[in-house]
C-alpha cells in the first residue's frame, strides 16, 4: 500500500510533522510527501534525507497557485491520503482527492492553527484586521490566513480518521493521539561523548550548558529564558540557543541575548535533523519555556521528546501536555514566571544526582510511550484497515 502524506509547505517547519509521520510509516508502507514550496526549497533540516520521496509545486505570488494546486492533486497517487494540518494545500487537496478518487483520507492535526490566527488577528487594529480578512479570502492558499484556517477547520468532519498531537486537540477534534515521537535508537545518549562534542563546537568543558533547541518564536518564551539566565550569576553557566533563523525576530533575539548575557550566550543556526542529538548532548539542562496563550493551547513542542530520548534533565512550563509528559521525570514551572524558571535551573545545577535521575527516567518514559516503535503500533491500528483497499 502507498500512502501520500500532504503538507501545507515543504519549505518551512510545518514539514517536520509530515516528515516524522513518513519516517514511521515507511517502515511498513511505500510513502511519499507532497505539497507546495513557498520558500527556497525543501526545509533545510531534512533536505539531505534521500529516503523520502517528494512531489511538489513551486508557489509564487498572485493567482497562479490555484492552477498549481490542480497540478499537485493530479500528481498524488497514494492508495491512502494522509493530510498533515487542516489547511488548503494539505487537507483541501486531500478532500478533493477523496471525492474524485474515492481514496480514504486521514487528517493529522498537530497544532491548533486557529489559535495562531486568533493570536495574530486579535492584536491588529480594526482596519488592518478587515484588510487581512479580505486578503485571506482572495489568497485562500496562503497559510496562516483567517479564511484558509477557518474553512479547513470546519471541514475536518469529512476526514475518515483523525490523528492529533495532544489532549487539547483530542478534546476539540476527537481522533487518536500521535505524539511527536522520536527514534530512541538514534537518540541514544550512549552514542555521544559530551567532551568531544564540546571541543568541536567551541564550548568549554567546565561550562554548565543550559539549552533551548528549536526555532525561537514569541510564544516559545526564549526571552523569559534569557531573563532567567540573567538572574543566575555564575559565569560558568551559559545559555546555548540552537535553531536561530535569519528572520528579524531571531536576529533581534540574538542581539538581545548577547547584550544581556555577554559571553555567557552562544547562538547557533538551524540544524539538520541528524545533528539534533549531537547538539542536545552538549547540554546539562534543556529548557522549554513555552508561554501560555491562544497560540500554545493546542501546541506541544516536539523538542521535549528529543531531550527525553537523550536522557536530559528538563525544565518546562506548565503548558499543553507538558506537565503530564514530564510527570516524575522533569520539572515544570508556571509560564512567564522568570523567578521560578531560574530557581528550577539552579536546583538541577546544585543537585546533579537528582538531575541525572530525572534524565534517566525521562528516557525510560520516552522509550515506553513516545518512541517510534510505540507510535508505529498506534498508527498501524489506523492504517491496517485500509490495506485491502486499492483505489483508482
Do 340 and 380 lie in one domain? The reply is no
The pLDDT score that the predictor gives to residue 94 is 96
- Domain co-membership, 209 together with 165: no
Backbone angles phi, psi at 286, to 5 degrees: -110, 135
Average per-residue pLDDT for the chain: 93
Residue 392's pLDDT band, with cuts at 50, 70 and 90, is very low
Distance of CA 84 to the CA centre of its chain: 12
For the chain, the domain total comes to 2
Residues 88 and 68 in one domain: yes
Q: Are residues 148 and 209 in the same domain?
A: no
Query: 257 lies in which domain range?
Result: 189-370
Closest residue by Cα to residue 8 from 122, 81, 93, 116: 93
In a domain, 222, yes or no: yes
Whether 336 maps to a domain, the answer reads: yes
pLDDT of residue 59: 85
Whether 156 and 294 map to the same domain: the answer is no
CA distance 169 to 112: 7
The CA angle 26-27-28, to the nearest 5 degrees, is 85
Give phi and psi for 30, each to the nearest 5: -80, 130
The side-by-side arrangement of strands in the sheet containing 265-269 is: 265-269, 237-244, 208-213, 285-288, 314-317, 331-333
Distance, in Å, from the CA atom of 295 to the CA atom of 115, rounded to the nearest integer, reads 5
Q: What percent of the chain has pLDDT over 90?
A: 81
Cβ contacts of 172 within 8 Å, gap of 6 or more = 112, 298
Residue range 253-269, pLDDT digits in tens: 999 999 999 999 999 99
Task: Give the model confidence (pLDDT) of 122-171 as tens digits.
Answer: 777 878 878 887 878 777 788 888 889 999 999 999 999 999 999 999 99
In whole angstroms, how far apart are CA 68 and each of 31, 42, 57, 134, 146?
22, 17, 6, 22, 21
In the chain, what is the greatest distance between 2 CA atoms, to the nearest angstrom? 66
68-110 per-position pLDDT tens digit:
888 999 999 999 999 999 999 999 999 999 999 889 999 999 9
Pair (249, 141) in one structural domain: no
pLDDT at 61: 67
Residue 390's pLDDT band, with cuts at 50, 70 and 90, is low
CA distance readout (Å), 136 to 95, 121, 142, 153: 20, 12, 7, 15
Assigned domain for 253 exists: yes
Segment among 232-246, 261-275, 279-293, 378-392 with least mean pLDDT: 378-392
Tell me whether residue 392 is in a domain.
no
Residues 156 and 56 in one domain: yes
Same domain (yes/no): 380, 294: no
Rounded Cα distance, 244 and 251, in Å: 8
What CATH number is given to the structural domain containing 194? 3.40.50.2000
pLDDT in tens, 164-217: 999 999 999 999 999 999 999 999 999 999 999 999 999 999 999 999 999 999
Q: What pLDDT was estimated at residue 316?
A: 98
Residues 224 and 79 in one domain: no
Report how far residue 124's alpha carbon sits from residue 49's, in angstroms, rounded to the nearest whole number: 40
Contacts of 71 (CB under 8 A, 6+ apart): 57
- Are residues 238 and 349 located together in one domain of the fold? yes
Instruction: Render pLDDT for 28-64 as a digit per residue (tens, 0 to 9).
Output: 999 999 999 998 899 999 998 999 999 999 887 666 7
Residues 55 and 148 placed together within one structural domain of the fold: yes
Do 98 and 209 fall into the same domain? Answer: no
Amino acid at each position: 500500500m502507498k500512502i501520500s502524506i500532504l503538507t501545507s509547505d515543504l519549505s518551512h517547519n510545518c514539514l517536520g510533522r509530515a516528515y516524522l509521520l513518513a519516517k514511521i510509516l515507511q517502515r511498513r508502507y511505500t510513502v511519499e510527501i507532497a505539497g507546495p514550496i513557498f520558500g527556497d526549497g525543501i526545509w533545510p533540516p531534512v533536505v539531505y534525507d534521500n529516503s523520502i520521496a517528494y512531489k511538489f509545486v513551486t508557489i509564487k505570488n498572485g493567482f497562479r497557485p490555484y492552477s498549481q494546486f490542480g497540478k499537485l492533486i493530479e500528481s498524488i497517487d497514494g492508495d491512502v491520503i494522509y493530510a498533515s494540518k487542516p489547511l488548503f494545500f494539505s487537507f483541501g487537496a486531500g478532500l478533493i482527492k477523496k471525492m474524485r478518487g474515492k481514496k480514504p483520507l486521514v487528517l493529522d492535526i498537530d497544532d491548533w492553527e486557529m489559535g495562531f490566527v486568533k493570536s495574530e488577528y486579535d492584536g491588529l487594529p480594526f482596519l488592518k484586521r478587515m484588510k487581512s480578512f479580505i486578503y485571506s479570502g482572495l489568497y485562500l492558499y496562503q497559510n496562516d490566513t483567517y479564511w484558509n484556517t477557518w474553512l479547513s477547520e470546519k471541514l475536518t468532519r469529512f476526514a475518515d480518521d483523525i490523528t492529533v498531537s495532544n489532549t487539547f486537540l483530542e478534546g476539540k477534534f476527537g481522533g487518536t493521539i500521535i505524539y511527536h515521537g522520536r527514534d530512541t535508537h538514534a537518540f541514544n545518549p550512549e552514542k555521544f561523548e559530551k567532551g568531544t562534542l564540546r571541543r568541536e563546537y567551541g564550548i568549554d568543558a567546565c561550562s554548565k550548558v543550559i539549552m533551548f533547541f528549536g526555532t525561537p518564536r514569541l510564544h516559545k518564551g526564549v526571552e523569559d529564558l534569557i531573563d532567567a539566565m540573567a538572574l543566575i550569576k555564575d559565569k560558568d553557566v551559559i545559555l546555548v540557543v540552537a535553531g536561530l533563523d535569519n528572520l528579524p525576530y531571531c536576529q533581534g533575539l540574538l542581539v538581545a541575548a548577547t547584550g544581556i548575557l555577554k559571553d555567557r550566550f552562544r547562538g547557533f543556526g538551524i540544524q539538520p535533523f541528524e545533528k539534533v542529538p549531537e547538539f542536545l548532548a552538549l547540554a546539562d539542562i534543556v529548557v522549554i519555556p513555552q508561554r501560555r496563550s491562544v497560540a500554545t493551547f493546542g501546541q506541544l513542542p516536539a523538542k521535549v521528546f528529543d531531550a527525553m530520548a537523550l536522557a536530559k534533565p528538563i525544565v518546562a512550563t506548565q503548558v499543553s501536555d507538558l506537565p503530564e509528559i514530564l510527570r516524575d521525570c522533569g520539572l515544570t514551572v508556571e509560564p512567564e514566571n522568570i523567578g521560578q524558571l531560574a530557581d528550577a535551573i539552579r536546583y538541577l545545577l546544585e543537585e546533579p544526582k537528582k538531575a541525572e535521575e530525572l534524565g534517566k527516567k525521562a528516557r525510560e518514559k520516552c522509550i515506553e510511550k513516545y518512541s517510534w516503535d510505540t507510535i508505529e503500533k498506534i498508527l498501524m491500528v489506523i492504517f491496517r484497515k485500509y490495506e485491502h483497499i486499492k483505489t483508482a
